[in-house]
Amino acid sequence: MKCAYHPDKEATTQCSQCKKYLCNECSLPDGEISVICSRCAALKAAQDAVYDVGKQIEKKETRIETEKLKKKRKSMMWIISQWLILFICTAIIIIQFPRLISCFKAEKQIRHGSYSTDDRTDQCIKNLWLISKMLQEGKLPGDNIVCPVSKKPYVVTKTEDDVMVKAPNPGLYGFKEMRVSKKNPVPTIIK
Ligand SMILES: [Zn+2]
Ligand SMILES: [Zn+2]
């Protein structure tokens, strides 16, 4: 047998890939025992290179994909935490809402003369002043002092260290409360 590349030379081996007969000069070692021709060796090298590049691209793509996933997860977490914060804030606002409202609607005390009142209200306030004077003197209002509208007596509430007298029907004057006490002798009117 002659070498496939040197027709004048005697072949000694065979290429493990293309099975061509090769002389000593043409045979290249391919691993431990097999032999390969230069053309197959070049082809194999090229294939390996392409395979390596493919692997590297794949690796890179996987890495990019992983990073993308990480970023996505991160942004998801960020969105979730934002919603959570918003939810907590909303919950706090809802829970504290009545208190918040009461801040704006602080009990408005109306002093005598600082609010346009009708005759009946004025009479009731006059009564409270009278009762205030009585409280200061250590006396309590009797049934003779009555609400100008409902004709009911004023309500006396005794506490440990104070005596409070309230108009029986403040709603008839359009108020929430009309009161005077021994400790706070100025009639207090709450809208
Ligand atoms: Zn070959
Ligand atoms: Zn040869």
Q: What is the 117 CA–ligand 1 centroid distance (Å)? A: 117
For residue 116 the two structure tokens come to 């346009």
The total of other beta-carbon atoms located within 10 Å of residue 158's CB is 11
State how far Cα 64 lies from the chain centre: 31
Number of H helices, E strands in the chain: 2, 9
Task: Report DSSP state, residue 3.
Answer: -
Centroid of ligand 1 to alpha carbon of 17 (angstroms)? 5
Q: How far apart are CA 164 and CA 156, in angstroms?
A: 6
Show pLDDT as tens, one digit a residue, over the chain (191 residues): 899 999 999 999 999 999 999 999 999 998 888 999 999 999 999 999 999 999 999 999 999 999 999 999 999 999 999 999 999 999 999 988 888 777 776 555 555 555 566 788 888 888 999 999 999 998 888 888 898 888 899 999 998 889 999 999 888 888 889 999 999 899 988 88
How far is ligand 2, taken at its centre, from the CA of residue 24, in Å?
6
Count Cα atoms within 13 angstroms, Cβ side, for 143: 0
Rounded CA separation 99/113 (Å): 30
Structure pTM?
0.41
Expressed in angstroms and rounded, the spacing between residue 29 Cα and the centre of ligand 2 is: 14
Cross-strand partners of 135:
none
Q: Quick one: which ligand is closest to 5's CA? A: 2
> Residue 36 Cα, ligand 1 centroid: separation in angstroms?
5
Rounded CA-CA distance 36/7 in Å is 18
CA 56 to centroid of ligand 1, rounded, Å: 28
Q: Judge whether 191 and 109 are in contact, CB under 8 Å.
A: no
